[in-house]
Amino acid sequence: MKIQYPTLKTPLTIGVTAPSSGVEQHLHLLITEAEKQLIQRGMKVIIGNTTWTQLKGRSTTKEKRVSELMDYLLDERIDVVMPPWGGSFLMELLPLIDWDELKKAGPKWILGYSDISTLSFVYTTMTGYASAHGVNFTELSAPQWDELSSKWIDVITCKTGHSITQSSSHYFQSSWEQVYKNPATGFYFDSETEWKVLNQERSNRMTGRLIGGCLNTLQILIGTPFDYVQSFINEYCSEEGTIWYLESVGMDAAKIYRALWQLKYNGWFNKCNGVLIGRAGLYENLGDFTLVDALRDIFDEMGIPVFYEVDIGHVPPQLILVNGAVGEVIVEEGRGTLKMQFC
């Protein structure tokens, strides 16, 4: 079976809805400024009611969230569903989504990260429709977009049968402190980027069909009715194999190890050709047990290349990765390139 990619019209219409966390009133500036930036670039923006509210870690009730999400995913005017940001409780919507209706509707771009990958991951593995992991709507409030964040437009407008290449950043943001103090001004890059190869003797190149997201949230899908990983691998990745990309926030080395162990022994890494690990947000070693130890303990016996400190996730900037696209990743002297083929 073939992955299906959305076909877009211009000008793009972006639908903003909050299936996980909404935006509290003192941060509404992020929404209005992001809307302004997109309109200035010739796009249209439709902002849902869920975006503006927040109560007990959620934008609103799960019934209202799923209703607006379904409306946006089925609305022919909307080209891209882009939540304001992630959160913690998106999994509540999975049993309420009409998946059969979404399959009938055809592919539509979902773009975001953190808890949003709970939705996009299941969307792709269940339907075979591509989805995108990357910048969220509030991060587009900056008056100038960095090179990696701005790639989201090029990625989602790439046509089926074509390819797009992204390169690693030169610098990344080590702390969110300045962003919190200066909302809607963009990222504050202060540290030099270096993509690292776990075992240099193995390979500096990997190819396969991309799949992944936020490790914190993907882990909870295992054993649920929404774990379609095995069927996705068998139906869509039998020839190319997979490249898994994973990022985390607030997980120490042991928690990352336990999550990866669980994925491994549930067969998620079957037919895996390589793994990309994003820069871990709010990370700590567990004594002398480090992230490198965790990665080696999980992947060394598999004999596959593993690249880490990659531009993915909660430590910006980040690449725009498409679930379902065939990727080729090369790392040379700390610099990386990702080529994605929409096939």
Encode pLDDT of 226-264 as tens digits.
999 999 999 999 999 999 999 999 999 999 999 999 999
pLDDT number for residue 263: 98
Residue 174 and residue 151: Cα distance in Å, rounded? Answer: 21
Residue 123 and residue 94: Cα distance in Å, rounded? Answer: 10
Which run of H or E residues covers position 246?
A: strand 242-247
Q: Which residue, chain included where needed, has tokens 């069927």?
A: 231
Spans of the chain below 50 pLDDT: none
C-alpha angle 36-40-42 in degrees, rounded to nearest 5: 120
Three-state secondary-structure class, residue 37: helix
Q: Domains, the chain, ranges and CATH? A: 13-160 (3.40.50.10740), 167-341 (3.50.30.60)
pLDDT number for residue 200: 82
pLDDT number for residue 169: 98
Which run of H or E residues covers position 13?
A: strand 13-16
Is the bond leading into 183 cis (omega within 30 degrees of zero)? no
Residue 35: partners with Cβ closer than 8 Å, 6 or more residues away: 16, 45, 47
Structure-token pair, residue 151: 């790639």
Residue 250 and residue 16: Cα distance in Å, rounded? Answer: 26
Q: What is the DSSP letter of 35?
A: H
Residue 80 and residue 98: Cα distance in Å, rounded? Answer: 19
Residue 16 and residue 24: Cα distance in Å, rounded? Answer: 15
pLDDT number for residue 193: 98
Is the bond leading into 317 cis (omega within 30 degrees of zero)? yes
Size of the chain in residues: 343
Q: At what angle do helices 253-265 and 291-299 cross, to 10 degrees?
A: 10
Structure-token pair, residue 161: 């049968």
pLDDT number for residue 27: 97
pLDDT number for residue 9: 86
